[in-house]
Structure 1
Amino acid sequence: MERTPGSPEALVEHALTRLDTDRKIRLLTGSGFWRTHAEPAVGLRSMLLSDGPAGVRGERYDERDPSAVLPCPTAVAASWDPALARRLGRLLAAEARRKGVDVVLGPTVNLHRTPYAGRNFECYSEDPLLSGAIGAATVSGIQSAGVAATVKHYVGNDFETDRFTVDVRIGERALREVYAAPFEHIVRTAAPWALMAAYNSVNGTTMTESPLLDEPLRGEWGFDGLVVSDWFAARSTEGAALGSLDLAMPGPLGPWGEALAAAVEDGRVPLDAVDAKVRNLLRLAARVGALGGPGEDAPAVGAGDPEPQADPDPEPHPEAELDTDTDTDTDTDTDERALLRAAAASGAVLVRNHDALLPFSAGQLRRVAVLGPNAAAARVQGGGSATVHPRQTAGPLDGLRAALGDTVEVTHAPGVRTRPRLRALDHRQMTDPVTGAPGLRVRFHAADGSLVLDELRLTSRLLWLSDTAIEKACTVEVEADVHMPGGGPHRIGVAGSGRFLLTADDAVLVDEDIAKDDPLSGILHPPERSTTHVLAPDRPTRLRLRHEFPAGALAVGFLLGVEAPDSPADEELRRAVALASDADAAVVVVGTDEQLESEGVDRTTLALPGAQDELVRRVAAVNPRTVVVVNSGAPVLLPWRSEVGAVLLTWFPGQEYGHALADILLGRSEPGGRLPMTWPADEASPALRSATPVDGAVAYGDDLDIGYRGWAAGGHRPAYPFGHGLGYTTWEYVAVSDPADLPVDGDAVVAVTLRNTGTRHGRHTVQAYLSREVSGVDRPPLWLAGFTIAEAAPGAETTVSLRLPRRAFAHWAEGWQIEPGRFTVLIGDSAEVHPVRTELRAG
């Protein structure tokens, strides 16, 4: 940035000169859980950071201020469409501006090294090129509206087990070519304004103190943004201060503050190091419009004049465009929902379609059975810090009933139950004893018994983060009259950590101090205590919950749950099978949920929970027109995949799930997705990597052979390979150009001609992989080098250009090197299917 008078960099330098050491150091720790400190004397207002990346939460996790819920990042990556990702980034920016957020904590670009990683749904892919391309487009979209994106978690946070303490051991070449590669691509092409340092260590050094924050990040790649710690990840005063960490979150406590001031005064930390950090923070503030000129108040969020960013995908997306400048809220909501609906369809992957079962013809349907534990409930997002309260959701059952109308009977049965944990209540099941309004009453009290906060809430899943009320309080009381149709025995309890007293009509159900060592895990995955209590059928039950917590707590969260008794398992299953046998088609929706796939915990199995596999097999046995819809954020095992008519992977597809699913099943939209990761057939393959540390460390011994590369290296066949997806038409590769030589100072371009040989208009993802059979360098069997989307009418040909970046031919050997000789370019539909090929010679 230039330092001409009035430029953002000039504002930064002017502000820096007016701050004394104590005020500089104060700025380097958050003022609370989500905010930075203000400094009015230099025109700096507080900046608000908020969780992403599949929605913007805002300062409070509050169902009264809901958010748009986007398809999860695996669904976005499955579109292989940077233009779509950029538009979703713009939607995130619009949400951020609406909620007063300056900095979105996303995208997450860690890699799917293992399918067991609990947070895979929040990351894009197992491939660094695909992750980098989709991540860069997302960053570009967010920052185009003057909101900062935060690329995370740099680096090696590819699983959740022991993430605070684990040492990830990565070889230099694998680090450069694989795990750091998405970050490098995003930094170089999209210039993100912030980056988050991970919890874990890499090669013996915790990432908030790692030299990797200097080189290659700031030096070689030229990153000039803010480096923020993951929450509670900054652990030392000098180690972090002497490195390139700029902001320790959350605040106001932390390892810096007075301890850093003493270290500066003693000469253990030079003032220049502090100045560099403050400069980066002020630069971020200037970019998001939080830093005014001399004597000015800082403007509101989004009012700054950010530097122009490169737009790698200027062409409009053919499905939907979000206009963030519409004149009415109704128009904005309509545009937003249209984009989210189109995005969910674009990321859905059709992996099996026997005898072209899909799409259905609505005119040939009289009765459709919609079955499965995820059919009525909309599992639209994963768990953890990515979770937001949706404005509205549509599940598969809702979407199909709306689309088919009164002319087709849509029947439903869950078939099996999969939720072992308590379910939160919503406002339709509760009444406030004070006002009689829907919801529950919440009261916070200080140590002297005085009332700090009294409010009506609409859900019994509650969380407060760095809220003024909880900072002044030490107890919270919840009270509600609960209405459960039919009464009878119900499981009632609480999920949380700390002291709880729960009563039902004065009968004590829980009276216990529930311990949890890790405070974040105590909120994300709290332990439960419950008991069975008989509810009266003709009147509400008064539930009262009292929770005690330490004074000055930064976070308070718990769930008050009531679970209705399950029907006998065999009865549930028999009913679902009976409905399927009497239907023209059966749609079985299986999957996971936000408790099984979540931040803070890795999965121990890839099997579908409960008896879902049995449900699928029983339904398929009585109805050959069975479509299985898989509603999970990452791979699960599909042992029945060859026994059913069609298999559609929908991921966690966001709030418009049901409508998008109906569009796909009825042929109004084509399932446009291709797999961004390999789906294994079972858990016995050596290609599957563990997420379990050994002696406090995880060694990335697979080196470069992550994902499909490892499957190919071992000669193993997965259920479905990386890049696979069918769509609703067929394609023939007609011709490929022969560029012969890799340009000395540029990228290679290969022209590919395809013909749509089906009967429907379609989109197809053309993928190019590099391979080298004879090489002096140890290489994977193949690696993704480029991709693009082809589109054509039935019978039509189209020619697309595949750009193969020069970097794709390079390997790391104390610098980037290109080995002279011939590279084979494999072009086709997936990591396994390459109908055409050509060769390129590197000089």
Structure 2
Amino acid sequence: MKAQDKIPQIQLEKNEVSTKFIEAKIDSIIAVLTLEEKVAMTHAQSKFSTKGVARLGIPEVWMSDGPHGVREEISWDAWENAGWTNDAITAFPALTCLAATFNPELAENYGFSLGEEAKYREKEVLLGPGVNIYRTPMNGRNFEYLGEDPFLASSMVVPYIKGVQDNGVAACVKHFALNNQEHLRDKINVEVGDRALHEIYLPAFKAAVQKGNVWALMGAYNKFRGQYTTHNKILHKILKTDWNFDGVVISDWSSVHSTEEAALYGVDMEMGTGTDGLGTTTNNHYQHYYLANPFLKAIKNGALSEGLLDDKVRRILRLMYRTNLNPNRTLGKLNTDKHLEVARKVATEGIVLLKNEDNFFPIQDKKGITIAVIGENATRDMTQGGGSSQLKPLFEISPLQGIKDRYKNATIIHTMGYESGASVYDEILPANLNQDSLYVKAIEVAKKADIVLFVGGLNKSHHQDSEGDDREVFDLPYGQEKLINGIQEVNENLGFLLVTGNAVKMPWISKTKGILQTWYLGSMAGHAIADVVSGDVNPSGKLPFSFPKELNDNAAHAFGQISYPGDGVNQNYSEGILVGYRWFDTRKIKPQYAFGFGLSYTDLKISEVKIDQKKYAKNDQIKITFEVANTGDRAGAEVVQVYVGKHKSKVERALKELKGFSKIYLEKGANKTGTITIDASSLAYYNPEISDWTVEEGTYYLYVGNASNNIVKKIKFDLF
């Protein structure tokens, strides 16, 4: 039963949509539901749906992965594709790319387009976005998340959620919480201090709830202080009591482990459990879920109260009135020109120019020049694989195709250079081709070219950028470093189009003249890459996470195995609040590339940075004004970043923390005045002694620049 099948006796009229009215309707429904009907609503009936109540016309709830595109239809009772022919969609860039745009307005357009596609596919819940913090570059799922900084992640997730939910489709922010690695994700117990929990790992979830008004939230697999996070007493209190979350908590698939804890500590819909997690036999029937027959039995014998069940059903019905029972819900759209335009815009704004020696980029389309495109990633499908976020796009423009389409005058030649082998969910299949032969051929092709574009990096295979486990090496895989060195020996005009969702080790930087960090860009990948390579679009992306030179330069790896990946049972976040650039800044470790870094094809200058006063009360707003000038020969954009640090704090602090940013677009020769406003209250630290936030009085420093390590102005001010 789908969205159009409303409850006959309690249909809403279009002018009757007040919260009070809906809550009254929910009360009337709960009053006539049987105990069995209510329990049936709290657990799955298929891989991606929960039951309705047919006799009352209460519809089913249908969900879909994922955060950057609506996943293809999955079979009712198995993980195979359902084999539909009408479920191809627009693949949007992965969320690392969205974060790199530093453009909240674009995040809302992204969310709205994605919501339209989910609505067309008749989904009530879209299982995304992900906001787990980038703690280590080894995490296989970082490409699905919004970077290492909680302020950036919060700023980008709120408009994304609003965009999705404007369609009457629930966003489901995930994974709550501390699911910052894939290795042993279903076993590892995370020990982290209260300050790091509240200052680093929870802010994006809090913003999603309190500012984004997200309608659903997904639990995580790992444990926190000895208890599974999906039904964790501490997290449940924070979410549903402290933050007043009124939506639905959906378990990650197989993340429930206890009927009692799931009932008491917040799970409203249990998905994917079975008795072995992924099985399809009768032993794994949905009636055996923790919130199925065992829940029913516990209520009937008095071990658990029916009030716990009623709260879950109330939340589920509230979700329905926001989605499939909403009379104002419009029709969805799929694969429109507008969706493709948004996908391309996000991709071009998210691409980050990391190096541009001798103005290697942009590359002009000239007759008589030969461009060699070398690398498996030039043609490899990057929307399949990666785990639950894999997609079935209507099409995917490869980097090679995009470059061929854009460069009509130049001669384009291509060879693979290396082969990674195919991948299934949890294993890598051996490569079919001879790697030595591929290497030799690549060197021959490079000799013939005027310019070489190497398209490499990672892919969506197991132990790369993929759900299920983490990366095993920090270096480029598949012999790419050797290939880069070999190409550079025969052709110095070498640029690297780096396709990853993670930082990689880069000892080969000096061998290249230009590097573009291109992410996983979805349907329009090749066109977006060609837009930037050619100069049709001036790159304006900024890194949403730091690139360490060595793996041990990263905070999570600086404290040994117990910090990452743990000892197999426990893991201590020994770096505390010093995650990402906070660690590099405070410990004076030079990164390979800093958080917030990104070059342009034009010359952009930030100047005239001022604040409106020198002393502020704790409830004041701090107003920062600045000018940005474009003194180059083409239009461009700069991201002005504002960081704040406490001078001589009485508690441990990072040197500085991002507290504001603004993306400024300028035509050539233009200059603009911009303003960023910061609430003084946002400078608080979480105080474990009072279990609340404290704004410390005294001297602070404001840092303004275009990267965490490129500050153009430092200003002193006081809070009293």
Residue 778 of structure 1 corresponds to which residue in structure 2?
652
Provide the rounded CA distance (Å) in 2 between the counterparts of 1:656 and 1:790. 25
The question of 1:801 aligning with 2:675 is answered yes
Q: Match for residue 223 of structure 1?
A: 245
Cα distance in 1 for partners of 2:456, 2:403 equals: 16
Q: 2:426 aligns with which of 510, 525, 529?
A: 525
> 1:81 corresponds to which residue?
103
* Residue 385 of structure 1: aligned partner: 388
Shift of 1:716: 1.2
- Correspondence 1:157 to 2:179: yes
Distance in structure 2 (CA, Å) of the matches to 1:760 and 1:56? 37
Q: Where does residue 678 of structure 1 map in the other structure?
A: 546
Which residue of 570, 595, 598 corresponds with 1:725? 598
Shift of 1:90: 0.9
- Residue 344 (structure 2) aligns with: 341
Matched-pair contact (CA < 8 Å) for 2:596–2:708: yes
Q: For residue 825 of structure 1, what is the amino acid of its counterpart?
A: L
In the other structure, the counterpart of 1:411 is 413
Match of 2:631 in 1: 757
Contact map agreement 1:49 1:104 (CA 8 A) in 2: yes
Aligned counterparts of 2:538 and 2:164: Cα–Cα separation in 1: 27
The equivalent residue for 2:263 is: 241
Q: Per-residue deviation at 1:164? A: 1.2
Aligned position for 2:224: 202
Task: Indicate conservation of the 8 Å contact 2:111/2:164, yes or no.
Answer: yes
Whole-Å separation in 2 of the counterparts to 1:204 and 1:85 = 36
- Could you tell me which residue of structure 1 aligns to residue 437 of structure 2? 571
1:136-193 CA-partner distances (Å, limit 9, x unpaired):
1111110011100001000000101111121111111111111011101111111000
Query: 1:139-150, aligned counterparts within 5 Å?
Result: 139-150=161-172
| 2:304 is equivalent to residue 269 of structure 1 | yes
Give the distance between the partners of 1:736 and 1:5, measured in 2 at CA.
Answer: 45
Tell me the SS of whatever aligns to 2:611: coil
Match of 2:579 among 706, 712, 731: 706
Query: 8 Å contact 2:287–2:293 — kept in the other structure?
Result: no
How far 1:383 moved relative to its partner? 0.5
In structure 1, how many angstroms separate the alpha carbons of the residues matched to 2:386 and 2:439? Answer: 28
Look up the equivalent residue of 2:420 and give its one-letter code: T
Q: What's 1:286 paired with? A: 321
Q: CA deviation at 1:686?
A: 5.5
CA change 1:211–1:365 in 2 (3 A) is: farther
Cα distance in 2 for partners of 1:159, 1:753 equals 40
Deviations 1:453-502 (A, max 9, x none): xxxxxxxxxxxxxxxxxxxxxxxxxxxxxxxxxxxxxxxxxx6xxxxxxx
Q: Secondary structure at the match of 2:186?
A: coil
Contact 2:367 2:410 (8 Å CA) reproduced = no
Distance 2:538 2:232 in 1: 45
Matches within 5 A, 1:29-44: 29-44=43-58
Q: 1:639 aligns with which of 507, 532, 551?
A: 507
- Given that 1:368 and 1:586 are in contact with CA atoms closer than 8 Å, whether structure 2 keeps it comes out as yes
Residue in 2 that maps onto 1:549: none
Query: What is the letter of the counterpart of residue 254 of structure 2?
Result: F
Alpha-carbon distance in 2 for matches of 1:5, 1:801? 37
TM-superposed CA distance for 1:744, in Å, is 4.0
Question: 2: CA distance between counterparts of 1:747 and 1:379?
Answer: 44
2-side partners of 1:602 and 1:82: how far apart? 29
Deviations 1:203-252 (A, max 9, x none): 11111221234322122222110011111111111111112211111345
- Cα displacement (A) at 1:48: 0.3
Q: Give TM-score, length-normalised by structure 2.
A: 0.90
Aligned to 1:17: 31
SS of aligned partner of 1:834:
strand
Q: By how many angstroms is 1:573 displaced?
A: 2.0
In structure 1, how many angstroms separate the alpha carbons of the residues matched to 2:619 and 2:343? 40
Determine the C-alpha separation between the residues in 1 that align with 2:330 and 2:305: 35
Q: Show the 5 A alignment for 1:169-184.
A: 169-184=191-206
Contact 1:787–1:803 under 8 Å retained in 2: no
**Residues 670, 527 of structure 1: alpha-carbon distance in 2 compared, 3 angstrom cutoff:** closer
In structure 2, what is the Cα distance between the partners aligned to 1:619 and 1:255?
57
Structure 2 residue matching 1:571: 3-state secondary structure: helix
Aligned in 2, Cα 1:361/1:775: closer, same or farther, shift over 3 Å?
Answer: same
Cα separation, 1, equivalents of 2:665 and 2:49 = 45
Structure 2 residue matching 1:363: 3-state secondary structure: coil
2:340 matches 1:351: no
Give the structure 2 partner of residue 475 of structure 1.
none
Q: Is contact 1:75-1:652 (8 Å) kept?
A: yes
The alignment status of 1:767 with 2:641, answered yes or no, reads yes
Contact kept in structure 2, 1:756 and 1:792, CA below 8 Å: yes
Which residue of 1 is the match for residue 520 of structure 2?
Answer: 652
The 2-side partners of 1:81 and 1:831 are apart by 17
Matches within 5 A, 1:359-374: 359-363=362-366, 366-374=369-377
| Secondary structure of 1:110 counterpart | coil
**Percentage identity across paired residues of the two chains:** 30
- Residue type at the aligned position of 1:578: E
Partner Cα distance (2:39, 2:383) in 1? 41
CA distance in 2 between partners of 1:731 and 1:632 (Å): 27
**CA shift at 1:262, angstroms?**
1.9
Deviation sequence 1:97-128 (CA, Å, 0-9, x none): 11111100000000011110110011110111
8 Å Cα contact 1:32/1:252 also seen in 2: no
Amino acid of the structure 1 residue aligned with 2:442? A
TM-aligned CA distance change 1:363 to 1:163, over 3 Å:
same
Q: Which residue of 1 aligns with 2:3?
A: none
Aligned length: 674
TM-score, length-scaled by structure 1: 0.77
**8 Å CA contact 1:772, 1:824 repeated in 2:** yes
- 1:286-338 deviations in Å (ceiling 9; x for gaps): 100237xxxxxxx7x9459xxxxxxxxxxxxxxxxxxx77xxx7xx6322222
Secondary structure at the aligned position of 2:659 is classed as strand
- Measured in 2, the distance between the counterparts of 1:182 and 1:103 equals 19
Work out whether 1:789 is the aligned partner of 2:663. Answer: yes
Partners in 1 of 2:258 and 2:542 — Cα distance? 44
CA contact (8 A) 1:53 1:73 kept: yes
For residue 608 of structure 2, what is the aligned residue in structure 1? 735
Shift of residue 710, structure 1, vs aligned partner: 1.2
- Per-residue CA distance 1:400-420 (angstroms, 9 max, x = gap): 111112x2210111122222x
Counterpart for residue 402 of structure 1: 405
Q: Retained in 1: the 8 A contact 2:383–2:390?
A: no
Report if aligned partners of 1:58, 1:96 keep a CA contact under 8 Å in 2: no
Q: Please state how far the C-alpha of 1:652 moved relative to its aligned partner.
A: 0.8
Residues 54-69 of structure 1 aligned to structure 2 (within 5 Å): 54-60=68-74, 61=81, 62=83, 64=85, 65-69=87-91
Distance 1:389 1:201, change over 3 A: same
**Partner Cα distance (1:28, 1:571) in 2:** 56
CA distance in 1, matches of 2:201, 2:325: 33
Contact 1:345-1:664 at 8 Å conserved across structures: yes
**Per-residue CA distance 1:546-578 (angstroms, 9 max, x = gap):** xxxxxxxxxxxxxxxxx7x424x3432232223
